[in-house]
Amino acid sequence: MMRVFNMGVGMVLVVPDKEEGDILDRLEKLGEKAYRIGVIEKRDDDQPFVSLV
């Protein structure tokens, strides 16, 4: 199924920047593959809601 269907990103955790490294290390030790996929930033009123970089 993983080769045929788009299975999405799975579980998403939102954590503070200062804890990112610790969280990624802990997940790796548990045998999980974890990746940073984005950031949450304050936006101005004239900016779009979502920005893909």
Would you say how long the chain is, in residues? 53
Q: Is residue 16 part of a domain?
A: yes
In terms of residue numbers, what domain contains 39? 10-53
Q: Is residue 5 part of a domain?
A: no
Report how far apart the first and last C-alpha atoms of the chain are (Å, whole number): 29
How confident is the prediction along the chain (53 residues), in pLDDT tens digits per residue?
777 887 788 889 999 999 999 999 999 999 999 999 888 888 888 888 887 76
pLDDT confidence of residue 30:
97
User: Is the Cβ–Cβ distance between 15 and 24 less than 8 Å?
Assistant: no
What's the total number of domains in the chain? 1
Residue 51 CA to residue 53 CA, distance in Å, equals: 6
pTM over 0.75: no
Q: Is residue 48 part of a domain?
A: yes
Closest CA to 14 of 33, 32, 40, 41: 40
